[in-house]
A = this chain, B = another copy of it.
């Protein structure tokens, strides 16, 4: 339907769109970043002003009131935004995973969600929640990817520009891939990691064109972000146009403690493996706690009035703030600042009731800093950097206390009604864990020759791996954002050990949330145990079908009674092509598509034989479709009426697949004909026009048909997909699984050897739950057979 010219045109538009997606995503990331910076700056400025005024007068609780007030105020904003658009809660990565996996996720990629998410994350991060901005940023990128190429209804239509591009699911999914890659690139300064992320979560198979585009998109996003950042005070000493900034996460350069020690040496690998295993255990427990909490929350909080959701958010903000303040005040230790690191981290140490140092220019040089306050009254990124690079010792109780606080509060926070990334809190908790171990070793007098920061990094990787069960792409992101190729091997090994240990207990947190929401995500491999299953065992044998030429009224009824998204186009086995057409009164000379694949009269004898051989064949019985037995096809058959009845029950020759949206659009556009006038009088409709309303097609209830119209006939054979991927009924499940993942399918018709449709497999049939049910049914049935 496209001319050669249009092909090139489309390719060009694709590149332009991709560049736009990258630029907009980078800009949004920049805005989020700047917004958080100023909101947080405002909060801490006021807090420390009041703190300075009151620290000696004993009325320091006023400072607590200030910071608590700010945090509650911010949290109300975040909570309300999410209450308005509930899908903006959480990190968004599970949703993006599902979307790219090929699942229809309503509202995930709307402008409204973008606004709620991007503004919400400003307030949730600035409000002192233990959440990261990276997940929401990836989600924002994905929404930008979904939105920009579809701007039609907002812009082009009003400007009356012709813009007939990208009106199908595959294109949209590709753009969302690019957007997600751009989001990752902006969030972590890791464009290659971004491409891998979208490849891993999204692509069925390696698509070179898509890979180029997403790399380009990720690069545009990184460069845009860096360009904007270079012009702001967020990056010290940079002039606008100097582009050499990292992404939003910057782990800083690892030194080796100024001594001749190494970053790591081989014997330490064993210790790293132990840390990885510990991270896996801690992560698994985190996931288990969070799972129970999430289920409880879904039952008891989210079902009730939306106000409870906001109240919970405020409660979390209060608890976080108050506990941090009290702990830091009462239990923080004053630690002397070591000169070497003073310069680099002067801005982010907090002296909080410790002996003050000098203030030079605007930088406060502390002779002592409160280690707990330094961890708790900072952005999480600064806390991580402190743990990675601060040579001044954190004391063991401080690290332990901070770890426990962070662990449980972060666990409580993830899943509440605020936009909340998981990456940064996990890194913080893990860095505390790693730093705790090295400090414990030092306290116990075990000599170590390597940098304490290395342990913090390894601990961070271990815990992150234990919670999200790092995929390849996340590993690459971590390696890329560390920017030290030297850490590649230990990071990789730690992450893998953590993943393996964690997998003994439960799944990654993203996957758990997907499962809790009962979304049929397809994993990477078919589960091992189900090797014995075949397509027949998992398919839904309840065929929903129409004939190539059907009455409009019966199609309408079918659409109203069922919720299926795809329907078989079939002809009954016992009726030959000519018979079918005559039985519904169409003139014989009509050019029916399915004559090309005409049903062979030899099939007619099939049913008679079939009955005779029923035991030998042991074929599954198929439920009768509920809709189409309204007599339309009860034409004369050349065989006995007994055979005919069998036909109605059993056997339909498969011709193609047609989507619900196509049927609705065909009816809405009145693409049907009067049976007295013949099929030639059916008006044609172009592919473009049929997809005009993508992705918001009308429902069947939006269409009003007159009784006369219901009596008309529709020839769907021109619009169906005449050769979708199909699978043989005795194909092993692994094959089914591969086809689904690889080709990104939603519906897979199961066809018998001789072209008889016997069932349909959808994603829901491939969920763990369903597969185990099928397996159980089979082994039960099998043992019966053997009796």
Residues of A at under 8 Å CB distance from B?
A: 7, 189, 191-192, 195-196, 199-200, 203-206, 208-209, 211-212, 215-216, 219-220, 222-223, 226, 241-244, 246, 262-266, 471-472, 475-476, 479-480, 484-486, 488-489, 492, 496, 524-525, 528, 595-598, 600-606, 609, 616-617, 723, 725-726, 728, 730-732, 735, 738, 741-743, 753-755
A192 to B524, CA, bound (A): 21
**B206, B598, B605, B753: which contacts A616 (Cβ < 8 A)?**
B598
A472 to B216, CA, bound (A): 10
Q: Is the CB of B200 within 8 A of A244?
A: no
- List chain B residues, Cβ under 8 A from A743: 738, 742
Stoichiometry, copies per complex: 2
Q: Is the CB of A216 within 8 A of B492?
A: yes
Q: Who on chain B is nearest to A224 by CB? A: B489
Q: Is the CB of B609 within 8 A of A219?
A: no
Q: Is the CB of B219 within 8 A of A489?
A: yes
Known: A204-B206, A212-B472. 14 other contacts (CB 8 A): A192-B479, A205-B205, A208-B524, A215-B492, A219-B488, A219-B492, A223-B488, A244-B484, A244-B485, A246-B485, A595-B616, A600-B606, A753-B754, A754-B754
Rounded to whole Å, the gap between the CB of A248 and the closest CB of chain B is 13
- List chain B residues, Cβ under 8 A from A606: 600, 602
A686 to B356, CA, bound (A): 79
- List chain B residues, Cβ under 8 A from A492: 215-216, 219
Known: A485-B246, A489-B220, A723-B728. A212 touches B601 (CB 8 A): no
Rounded to whole Å, the gap between the CB of A267 and the closest CB of chain B is 10
Q: Is the CB of B602 within 8 A of A609?
A: yes
- List chain B residues, Cβ under 8 A from A738: 205, 743
Q: Is the CB of A189 within 8 A of B728?
A: no
- List chain B residues, Cβ under 8 A from A735: 723, 725
Rounded to whole Å, the gap between the CB of A406 and the closest CB of chain B is 29
A486 to B479, CA, bound (A): 17
Q: Is the CB of A609 within 8 A of B600?
A: yes
- List chain B residues, Cβ under 8 A from A723: 728, 730-732, 735
Known: A212-B496, A723-B728, A728-B723. A205 touches B489 (CB 8 A): no
Rounded to whole Å, the gap between the CB of A532 and the closest CB of chain B is 13
Known: A262-B241, A475-B215, A728-B723. A485 touches B191 (CB 8 A): yes
Q: Who on chain B is nearest to A605 by CB? A: B602
- List chain B residues, Cβ under 8 A from A605: 601-602, 605
Q: Is the CB of B206 within 8 A of A203?
A: yes
A743 to B731, CA, bound (A): 15
Q: Who on chain B is nearest to A655 by CB? A: B753
A206 to B101, CA, bound (A): 13
Q: Is the CB of B199 within 8 A of A206?
A: yes
**B211, B215, B597, B731: which contacts A730 (Cβ < 8 A)?**
B597
**B206, B266, B755: which contacts A753 (Cβ < 8 A)?**
B755
A659 to B204, CA, bound (A): 29
**B216, B488, B596, B602: which contacts A602 (Cβ < 8 A)?**
B602
A203 to B489, CA, bound (A): 23
A206 to B595, CA, bound (A): 39
Q: Is the CB of B472 within 8 A of A205?
A: no
Q: Can you show 9 pairs from A to B with CB atoms below 8 A apart?
A: A7-B528, A215-B492, A222-B485, A244-B485, A246-B485, A597-B753, A602-B602, A602-B606, A603-B754
Q: Who on chain B is nearest to A524 by CB? A: B208
A603 to B600, CA, bound (A): 10
Rounded to whole Å, the gap between the CB of A590 and the closest CB of chain B is 15
A244 to B256, CA, bound (A): 11
Q: Is the CB of B754 within 8 A of A215?
A: no
Q: Is the CB of B208 within 8 A of A205?
A: no
A753 to B603, CA, bound (A): 12
Q: Who on chain B is nearest to A604 by CB? A: B602
Rounded to whole Å, the gap between the CB of A207 and the closest CB of chain B is 8
A476 to B471, CA, bound (A): 20
Q: Is the CB of A486 within 8 A of B244?
A: yes
Q: Is the CB of B602 within 8 A of A489?
A: no
**What 10 A-B pairs have minimum CB-CB distances, sorted nearest first?**
A205-B205, A602-B606, A753-B755, A754-B754, A602-B605, A219-B489, A208-B524, A211-B472, A223-B489, A244-B486
A244 to B254, CA, bound (A): 12
A307 to B90, CA, bound (A): 71
**B476, B597, B754: which contacts A192 (Cβ < 8 A)?**
B476
Q: Who on chain B is nearest to A654 by CB? A: B753
- List chain B residues, Cβ under 8 A from A597: 730, 753
A755 to B728, CA, bound (A): 10
- List chain B residues, Cβ under 8 A from A754: 600, 602-603, 753-755
Q: Is the CB of A222 within 8 A of B488?
A: yes
A609 to B205, CA, bound (A): 43
A435 to B524, CA, bound (A): 48
- List chain B residues, Cβ under 8 A from A603: 602, 754
A211 to B201, CA, bound (A): 13
Q: Is the CB of B755 within 8 A of A208?
A: no
A64 to B604, CA, bound (A): 90
A595 to B617, CA, bound (A): 9
A604 to B604, CA, bound (A): 12
- List chain B residues, Cβ under 8 A from A220: 489
Rounded to whole Å, the gap between the CB of A58 and the closest CB of chain B is 51
Known: A753-B754, A755-B754. A471 touches B208 (CB 8 A): yes
Rounded to whole Å, the gap between the CB of A700 and the closest CB of chain B is 31
Q: Is the CB of A730 within 8 A of B596?
A: yes
Q: Is the CB of B246 within 8 A of A262?
A: no
Q: Who on chain B is nearest to A576 by CB? A: B609
